[in-house]
A and B are shown apart, each in its own frame.
Chain A
Amino acid sequence: MSERSNTRGGTEFLAVSKDDLSERHTISVLVDNEAGVLARVIGLFSGRGYNIESLTVAETDVSKHLSRITVVTSGTPMIIEQIKNQLRRLVPVHKVTDLTVEGPSLEREMALVKVQGTGEKRVESMRIADIFRAHVVDATIESFVFEMTGSTEKVNAFINLMQPLGLIDVSRTGVVAIARGPEA
């Protein structure tokens, strides 16, 4: 990237040097599961001009009413630091973890991929699904719905391969992530 994309406007008025390249980070946010909490997080991103590449949210601890929001975002190191500090400032936020920098972590995404076709294309889509360990969750004479899980890259690769084989619809969950190892 030669000219870094600048989400915050201005040119020489920003104290950002050109070697500040944009990085992709996966941030895990543990929040109280209360009304409006997702709007607070999303509003923070849109209000301050940060990027959201993917966002997932679900309650993870029913007894404590805690939800986990996993956000994949991109920005310069200064912006990423800002995002984390801004998130920590929100009242219902318990913990913010940057899975990209804080030790090894796992990322998974699930996709439902609908492919329409007959004959050789249909057979080929089954073969590729096998290689990707996707399985069929719905079938008609002229279509399949595959369910597949993997990293974002793997899901992208699978979808790209299905493109010429009659891909007609995709639904993806977005990224969920967790740190490796015994610690929470």
Chain B
Amino acid sequence: MAVEPITGAEIIVKALIDQGVDVIFGYPGGAVLPLYDALFKQNRIKHILVRHEQAAVHAAEGYARSTGKVGVVLVTSGPGATNAVTGLTDALMDSIPIVCLTGQVPTHLIGNDAFQEADTTGITRPCTKHNYLVKAIEDLSRKVHEAFYVAKSGRPGPVVIDLPKDIQQAKYEYVNHAGQKHRSYNPPVRPDRAQVEKAIEAMAHAKRPLFYIGGGCINSGPQACALLTEFVRMTGFPCTQTLMGLGAFPGSDPLSLGMVGMHGMYESNLAMHDCDVMINIGARFDDRVTGKLTAFSPGSKKIHVDIDPSSINKNIRVDIPVVGDVGHVVEEMMRIWKARQIKPDAKALSTWWDQINKWRARDCLKYRPSEQVIKPQYALQRLYAAIKDKDFYITTEVGQHQMWAAQFLKFEQPNHWMTSGGLGTMGYGLPAAYGVQVAHPESLVIDVAGEASIMMNIQEMSTLVQYRLPVKIFILNNKWMGMVRQWQELLHGGRYSESYSDALPDFVKLAEAFGAKGLRAEKVGELDDVIAKMLATPGPVIVDCAVDERENCFPMIPSGAAHNEMLLGPDDQSAKPISEEGMVLV
């Protein structure tokens, strides 16, 4: 049966529909007009018009992270593509599956410095998992389907497809290539059994074990997280999470030690330093977690489960590498654990828990409460109290507020916490939040923001209002780039170079100017009321919450220090000056 030839633009739309795409975040332009025309003529895929291409990618990230599906972006050539670069890099660092369609000048003009031409595949090569330039219409449908496969297989990541305008207009037959085996890229998901056996052997004899779980668990899916939760509970071992791994294990479970790393919990970091068997599942020994490498968990045997072999032995030498998908590995671990009827050393484990509970008793998130000024931590505690029984999703920008949110909000399930971990992109939270809201229209989506970060993508308020996306933006406004100010205070002699947020807008009026609701909390007594009003407002809301300008984020492992040199709070600040070498690190 002969297939009717259709245009390249129609082939792309058909391929997207066959891939189950229901929403695209994008911005039109000359080089993608045929594609926008094809989108106009159909009603299966919804298009969300963003106000800046960077936001399109962050929104697709929010969508992807909250659903587990591939997020799709559509931008034009030249500036459209270059604006998307930050988002693509963000998705690469955090292993988020994205397919980004970029327009390109017609094939015969490529290389001629044509209007709105950029070497998109050249520019995005280091910030994508893979990219394609489609130069022949015959390759189009295969490459679109392959892009989805590559984006979501193995360790997920962003994939760019660069689409010259003449390819979008050329005609060819559409063939559905979904599910076709790739000729070279087939990452294994099932672990080597012998390695899993070794890991279980080490765990069975552990006296001071610790689970250290990361974003890989969440990428493996909610079922993998449920299985992991069951396994952790079966062992009775303590479990700490990375910034990316929050929600992979229930935050309120007594076995959870909370976040690990630079601003992680005291008990998590001390446990990491002192453990004898570390079970890293889907985390990558990031420098924010390890601190000083030579002093990192010196006495432990390290098990590392990762789907990406290049993550293993990259920063930290491990003893038992296990390459595979978290879900498959944990399933195998549980099977062996049960089959061998392993009983961990109860006496050693109880001594270990006694020690951990002593560290817990230090109450590392303690801060000096105030009646005069709203403490940022208190604001988040009140926010959490108001939302914890609701179906809520949190996104953040980057800085102090992000760390406080990670410390003070608890996540019971995966895919509910979206933050820019690897790249640390200010301006991530607002677009990511509406990406989540588009996927979960009935849920409560809050962007916990700082007044500096929110300004980086504030234009997206317009997108919120256009699509009536009821995202709540909760700004902890301390009038400073808080984390920069904190480092300047601790590391640079209090010389606050360019970190003051001068000439800030009136956020209430700003919200109103966009057609949203603005609320302000300046006094401690107003806070609960404002939060209640925010939650009761049906549309998008900005809350401008004036918080203590001088508050620092603790606990903190100073750069260049080891886990057991953690600073607990302001009184602990001058305990040890930060070394020259520490100052060089970011």
Contact = CB atoms under 8 A, between A and B. Distances in A.
Contacts, number: 65
A47 B154 CA distance: 22
Contacts of A47: 126
A94 B131 CA distance: 17
Contact of A13 (B135, B182, B293, B312): B293
Residue in A13, A32, A36, A82 with the greatest tally of chain B CB atoms within 10 Å = A13
A91 B184 contact: yes
B130 interface: yes
Contact of B294 (A13, A85, A93, A94): A13
Contacts of B309: 85, 88-89
A11 B581 contact: yes
Contact of B310 (A11, A43, A82): A82
Residue in B293, B310, B315 with the greatest tally of chain A CB atoms within 10 Å = B310
B315 A15 contact: yes
Contact of A15 (B155, B182, B294): B294
Contacts of B135: 35
B313 A91 contact: no
Residue in A12, A92, A94 with the greatest tally of chain B CB atoms within 10 Å = A12
Nearest to B294: A12
Contacts of B150: 91
Contacts of A43: 125-126
A141 interface: no
B342 interface: no
Contact of B184 (A40, A78, A82, A94): A94
A15 B293 contact: yes
B169 interface: no
Contacts of B317: 15, 78
Contacts of B133: 35-36
Secondary structure of the A contact surface, majority rule: mixed
Residue in B122, B133, B293, B585 with the greatest tally of chain A CB atoms within 10 Å = B293
A40 to B, nearest CB: 6
Contacts of B316: 15
Contacts of A15: 293-294, 296, 315-317
Given A15-B294, A40-B125, A82 B130 contact: no
A86 B125 contact: no
A39 interface: yes
A140 B560 CA distance: 65
B110 to A, nearest CB: 11
Given A36-B125, A39-B122, A94-B184, A13 B313 contact: no
A91 B149 CA distance: 11
B313 A89 contact: no
B181 interface: no
Interface in A86-116: 86, 88-94
Interface in B278-324: 292-294, 296, 308-310, 312-317
Residue in B122, B294, B316 with the greatest tally of chain A CB atoms within 10 Å = B294
A107 B310 CA distance: 27
B313 A78 contact: yes
B381 to A, nearest CB: 35
Residue in A10, A12, A39, A91 with the greatest tally of chain B CB atoms within 10 Å = A91
Nearest to B125: A43
Interface residues of A, number: 25
Contacts of B294: 12-15
A138 B447 CA distance: 73
A93 to B, nearest CB: 6
Secondary structure of the B contact surface, majority rule: loop
A13 to B, nearest CB: 5
A28 to B, nearest CB: 15
A14 B293 contact: yes
Interface string A64-98: 00000000000000100110011011111110000
A13 B292 contact: yes
Interface string A8-31: 001111110000000000000000
Interface string B123-137: 001100111010100
Contact of B581 (A12, A32, A81): A12
B19 interface: no
A160 to B, nearest CB: 39
A3 to B, nearest CB: 16
Contacts of B183: 32, 94
A35 B293 CA distance: 39
Given A36-B121, A82-B313, A92-B184, A13 B560 contact: yes
Contacts of B293: 13-15
Contacts of B129: 91
Contacts of B296: 15
A15 B10 CA distance: 53
Nearest to A88: B309
A59 B314 CA distance: 32
Interface in B138-170: 150, 154-155
A11 B585 CA distance: 12
B125 A13 contact: no
B47 to A, nearest CB: 28
A82 B154 CA distance: 17
Nearest to B121: A36
Contact of B185 (A10, A85, A91): A91
A88 to B, nearest CB: 7
A81 B313 contact: yes
Contact of A91 (B122, B130, B312): B130
Contacts of A32: 183-184
A146 to B, nearest CB: 39
Contacts of A11: 581
Contacts of A35: 133, 135
B308 A89 contact: yes
Nearest to A95: B184
Interface of A: 10-15, 32, 35-36, 39-40, 43, 47, 78, 81-82, 85-86, 88-94
Given A36-B133, A39-B122, A43-B126, 12 more contacts: A12-B292, A13-B294, A14-B294, A15-B296, A32-B183, A32-B184, A35-B133, A35-B135, A39-B125, A78-B317, A85-B312, A91-B129
Interface of B: 121-122, 125-126, 129-131, 133, 135, 150, 154-155, 182-185, 292-294, 296, 308-310, 312-317, 560, 581, 585
9 contacts: A13-B560, A13-B581, A15-B293, A32-B184, A78-B317, A86-B310, A89-B154, A89-B310, A92-B185
Question: 3 shortest A-B CB distances, which residue pairs?
Answer: A85-B310, A15-B293, A91-B130
